[in-house]
Copies of this chain bind each other. A is one copy, B any other.
Amino acid sequence: MQRVKTGITELDEMLHGGFLPQTANLVEGAPGTGKTTLGMQFIYNGITQYDEPGLILTFEEFPQQYYRDAASFGWDFKQLEQEGKLKVIMTSPEISRLDLENVGGMIETMANEIGARRVLVDSLSHFQKLTEDPVELRQIQYSFINALKREGLTALLTKESDAILGEAYSDESVAFVADSYLMLRYVEIESAIQKALLVLKLRGSDHAKDIRQFQIKAHGIEVQSPFEGQEGIMSGSPRRTMAESFVEAFVRK
């Protein structure tokens, strides 16, 4: 099956080729872990490498913030908008949801105008303001996700995690309906805070199981080798394994 590549080589390898077409792909992380950067890179690479125009739906930040953030990675979002390959749309969960229910709504129109194939929704967590009932929230999010799929879009949905360092709880059940689930996490290793990336779920395909280190570099996210000789990485506070420690203390020295 054709894959929707992120253009981040190692991540696409972890995904055994990329996301699946017309799927909803969740990227969860604490503040600063790089959810939005990953989302923008997905959109930017889609346009520039795979000729797949893209939408960005933002529920909080102004489009200017995306232009600025993208520019810091050398991605010229304003130019792409002028070329008719990108639309950054500031909207709200309420409006975008209603809009997608109607034929010929604004999002559909814009998607058609530029022939959009990808969408970044930043962030799905803002749907929480629509209702306090978790059951209703799940239904709303599920409908929204399906509406995006019906438009022929492959969606990357960011999701905010409150835990800076600590156990990972999926406090919203949206993870059950998403087609894939990527986790970005802070990990304390050797007195520094590193970033970890994990593909937990990829519906309809096998995927890498290892927890990879990654960095936000000058030109975007770079996925690196798996962690080694550590236990409890996903807790955020791992420990060097005993065997490793013995070897380091007695063999290498």
Contact = CB atoms under 8 A, between A and B. Distances in A.
Given A192-B209, A192-B226, A250 B246 contact: yes
Copies of this chain, complex-wide, total: 6
> Which of A31, A167, A186, A232 has the largest count of B CB atoms less than 10 A from its CB?
A31
Contacts of A165: 167-168, 234-235
Contacts of A135: 128-129
Contacts of A249: 242-243, 246-247, 250-251
Interface stretch (A43-51, A82-90, A105-113, A171-179): A171-179
Contacts of A162: 169-171, 173
A205 B227 CA distance: 24
A68 interface: yes
A210 B192 contact: yes
Interface in A153-202: 160, 162-171, 173, 175-178, 181, 183, 186, 188, 191-194, 198, 200-202
Nearest to A196: B191
B164 A200 contact: yes
A21 to B, nearest CB: 11
Interface string A130-150: 000001000000100000000
A231 interface: yes
Nearest to A31: B175
Contacts of A69: 203-204
Interface of A: 30-32, 60-61, 68-69, 72, 125, 128-129, 135, 142, 160, 162-171, 173, 175-178, 181, 183, 186, 188, 191-194, 198, 200-206, 209-211, 216-218, 226-228, 230-251, 253
19 contacts: A30-B170, A31-B176, A60-B177, A68-B204, A69-B203, A129-B135, A162-B171, A164-B168, A188-B233, A191-B227, A193-B198, A193-B200, A193-B211, A206-B218, A232-B239, A234-B236, A234-B237, A246-B249, A246-B250
The 6 closest A-B pairs by CB, nearest first: A32-B201, A246-B249, A242-B245, A31-B175, A192-B210, A129-B135
